[in-house]
Structure 1
Amino acid sequence: MRALLGNKKGKLRIVTRLLVSVVDSAEARLALAHGADLIDAKDPDAGALGALPLASIRSIHASLPEGIVTSAVAGDDDDVERLARSALSVATTGVTFVKLGLGRAMARPTGVAALGRRLAGQGRFIAVLFADENPPLTLVAALHEAGFVGAMLDTSQKRGIRLPDLLTMDQLGSFVADCRQLGLMSGLAGSLRIEDIDRLAALNPDYLGFRGGLCLAGDRRGQLDPLAIGRAAYRLQAIRQSRQVDGEQAA
């Protein structure tokens, strides 16, 4: 789901939104109340893209008002059939998007094509590439051809190495631009901090994804910090308002 800003001349610009990963319905309601735009169901104890039980995902989705954008992680796997089965199961929970982690073996055109054939017409799937595994960023074209609706960059190892430490702003900007050109939703995540918001939002991704950076003491396995969520949401809102004013002045 892509949000856009318009000005009097009819020009549209991407509006970057806040994705917050949650572990249960209580965290989901907390994140929403403090400004999250997309509620993402994920198990941080099970790795970078750990999948929650289907019952937990359904509970999270059911706890939110109708119309709230949601996603859930289906895990990451080097086996096409296992990953596809997991993704199709998660798609039955009612979430808006299903995220699939593509590791080294899957982050190649042949793996993407095989997944696309298995998932074709079955739901709204987003591929997650791990920047610390050196995926070919040109894979965006293959993802589009395979029927994915979006692509995200994340990190597989949550040991303090952040997405901006792994890829340059030019590389991140090219990834986002390629997604936009092909009509794919784009997202940037990977141990992000609130102070990363300004420079990453300048690249115009659809979403910036957070977990650890919005948790107490920065511990992704700990509790979400409502004050941190609010600060992140406020920062993105301030950027949106600034762009809207600039667009009206330009018009």
Structure 2
Amino acid sequence: MRVLVSVRDADEARALQAAGVDYIDLKEPAAGALGGLPTAEIVRLVGLLRAAAGPSRGAAVPPAPPPVPRISATIGDWPAQALEIVLAQAEAVAACGVDLVKIGVRPDPGPAAVALLEALAGRARQWQAAGGPGLVPVLVADAGVPWTVLDAALAPGRLTAWAALMLDTEDKRGGSLLQRCGEAALRETVAAVRSAAAGQAVPELGLAGALGLDDLPRLRAIGPAYAGFRSAVCAGERAGPLCPQRLRALLAALRPAVAA
């Protein structure tokens, strides 16, 4: 199970890259679950991370550069009805050089969510054809797994448009994703994503939403491709600064063989 951690600034991004985190997710936690950073800041952070992963110069035996992470960025919290704004924000973030663009999809009202997914699938295919970033619908699951929206995302005409799918929560104080959805429903979600492929490339499924160290055994049993964290690596509120000690503890728990 790979790990995604959300960061808001250069110091946090460098710490994650040095630690070898698989996905570095650029967002502003103080602005909501999918709070977006200014596009100029996204461009700056992407440049810093790409440069740090390049070859070192000026040393007889240069140290190994930190690994190149997959970089994602959010577009901000927008309702499904704000379709034109969502698409414009998606294009702006896609132009920042990230690998993945994350876009929230709320379950209510259902028709608006399905219309948003249809529009996003079209945009995702355009990006694929142009060699652009992948698009990741983030299905909001505060009230449990949004089955209607998930079915719409997995429809044959849309499935291959996505680089990945995520389930996440908006209200981080209302319990973790595991508490909101239950382990059985999340196992069913993983199985649904895998079975929908029918021989096609399967979009990876990630789980996030106030997840903590105590959730790791159940997450492994559920089997998502990756899990996302922010609250677990902050000393206080998720809008506060990242805590290096908590980050090390999380990675040690996820990768005991490496830590040993």
> SS state of the match for residue 40, structure 1?
strand
Segments of structure 1 that go 5 or more residues without pairing to the other structure are 1-15, 242-251
Once residues 184 and 224 of structure 2 are traced to their aligned partners in structure 1, the CA distance between those partners, rounded to angstroms, is 13
Query: Once superposed, what is the RMSD of the aligned Cα atoms?
Result: 2.1
Match of 2:251 in 1: 233
Match of 2:182 among 168, 183, 201: 168
* Residue 149 of structure 1: how far off its partner (Å): 1.9
* Residue 127 of structure 1: how far off its partner (Å): 0.6
Match of 1:54 in 2: 39
Residue deviations 1:141-191, cap 9 Å, x none? 432433122111111112242111111111111112222333011111001
Match of 1:34 among 19, 22, 26: 19
**Higher alpha-carbon deviation: 93-102 or 178-187:** 178-187
Once residues 75 and 160 of structure 1 are traced to their aligned partners in structure 2, the CA distance between those partners, rounded to angstroms, is 20
* Residue 135 of structure 1: how far off its partner (Å): 5.4
Match of 1:143 among 139, 144, 153: 153
Paired amino acid for 2:149: L
**Higher alpha-carbon deviation: 126-135 or 183-192:** 126-135
Say whether 1:113 aligns with 2:118: yes
Once residues 105 and 58 of structure 1 are traced to their aligned partners in structure 2, the CA distance between those partners, rounded to angstroms, is 33
Identity %: 36
C-alpha change, 1:161 and 1:211, in structure 2 (3 Å) is same
> SS state of the match for residue 232, structure 2?
helix
Residue deviations 1:46-93, cap 9 Å, x none? 111001001111122112125321100012322111111111111111
C-alpha change, 1:166 and 1:20, in structure 2 (3 Å) is same
C-alpha change, 1:196 and 1:134, in structure 2 (3 Å) is closer
* Residue 201 of structure 1: how far off its partner (Å): 2.0
Kindly indicate whether the alpha-carbon contact (under 8 Å) linking 1:99 and 1:128 is maintained by their aligned counterparts in 2: yes
Once residues 55 and 164 of structure 1 are traced to their aligned partners in structure 2, the CA distance between those partners, rounded to angstroms, is 35
Higher relative contact order (CA 8 A, sep 6+): 1
Kindly indicate whether the alpha-carbon contact (under 8 Å) linking 1:19 and 1:40 is maintained by their aligned counterparts in 2: yes
> SS state of the match for residue 172, structure 1?
helix
**Higher alpha-carbon deviation: 172-181 or 43-52:** 172-181
* Residue 237 of structure 1: how far off its partner (Å): 1.3
Match of 1:154 among 168, 180, 205: 168
Match of 1:128 in 2: 138
Once residues 22 and 175 of structure 1 are traced to their aligned partners in structure 2, the CA distance between those partners, rounded to angstroms, is 27
Kindly indicate whether the alpha-carbon contact (under 8 Å) linking 2:143 and 2:180 is maintained by their aligned counterparts in 1: no
TM-score normalised by length of structure 1: 0.82
Match of 2:30 in 1: 45
Once residues 46 and 40 of structure 1 are traced to their aligned partners in structure 2, the CA distance between those partners, rounded to angstroms, is 14
Count matched residues.
225
TM-score normalised by length of structure 2: 0.79
Once residues 30 and 152 of structure 2 are traced to their aligned partners in structure 1, the CA distance between those partners, rounded to angstroms, is 31
Once residues 18 and 102 of structure 2 are traced to their aligned partners in structure 1, the CA distance between those partners, rounded to angstroms, is 23
Say whether 1:195 aligns with 2:248: no
Kindly indicate whether the alpha-carbon contact (under 8 Å) linking 2:216 and 2:254 is maintained by their aligned counterparts in 1: yes
Match of 1:74 in 2: 75
Once residues 123 and 15 of structure 2 are traced to their aligned partners in structure 1, the CA distance between those partners, rounded to angstroms, is 36
Match of 2:64 in 1: none
Paired amino acid for 2:47: A
Once residues 85 and 206 of structure 2 are traced to their aligned partners in structure 1, the CA distance between those partners, rounded to angstroms, is 24
* Residue 239 of structure 1: how far off its partner (Å): 7.7
> SS state of the match for residue 153, structure 2?
helix
